[in-house]
């Protein structure tokens, strides 16, 4: 049984911001390729959602996993879906940001 993968509004905003950041520094094509790979990676969480490291110290039932050594993905798994909560790029201090 696979679950639906849903992007929280904050995660979608993170993805959009990452696209803009890459596009400003490189090109729209490069930004699209990178963010498409990241989105596709997240969408594959449906088949094997219990991956990554569980971090109940951050939030109950939250898990983290890395993507290409540049993005930290925070997500949670429920009975019906995988909710992508946030996408932190380039070593952002996600623990501090979550406290704010």
What are the tens digits of pLDDT across the range 19-30?
A: 999 999 999 999
For the question of whether the overall pTM of this predicted structure is more than 0.75, the answer is yes
Output the pLDDT for position 95: 60
Q: Tens of pLDDT along 54-97? A: 998 888 999 999 999 999 999 999 989 999 999 999 866 656 65
User: Which residue matches tokens 């699209």?
Assistant: 32
In angstroms, the CA 67 to CA 41 distance is: 8
User: Phi and psi (nearest 5°) for 19?
Assistant: -55, -50
Is the predicted pLDDT of residue 46 greater than 70, yes or no? yes
**What is the chain's length?**
100
Range of the domain at 84: 4-99
CATH number, domain with residue 60? 3.30.2310.20
Q: Which residues contact 21 (CB under 8 A, 6 or more apart)?
A: 31, 89
How many structural domains comprise the chain? Answer: 1
User: Which alpha helices (H) appear in 1-100, and where do they start and end?
Assistant: 9-25, 28-43, 94-99
């Amino acid at each position: 049984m696979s679950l639906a993968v849903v992007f929280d509004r904050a995660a979608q905003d993170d993805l959009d911001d990452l696209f803009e950041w890459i596009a400003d520094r490189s090109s729209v094509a490069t930004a699209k390729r990178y963010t498409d790979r990241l989105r596709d990676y997240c969408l594959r969480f449906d088949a094997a959602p219990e991956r990554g490291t569980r971090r109940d110290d951050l939030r109950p039932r939250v898990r983290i996993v890395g993507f290409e050594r540049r993005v930290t993905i925070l997500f949670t798994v429920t009975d019906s879906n995988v909710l992508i909560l946030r996408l932190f790029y380039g070593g952002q201090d996600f623990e501090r940001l979550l406290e704010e």
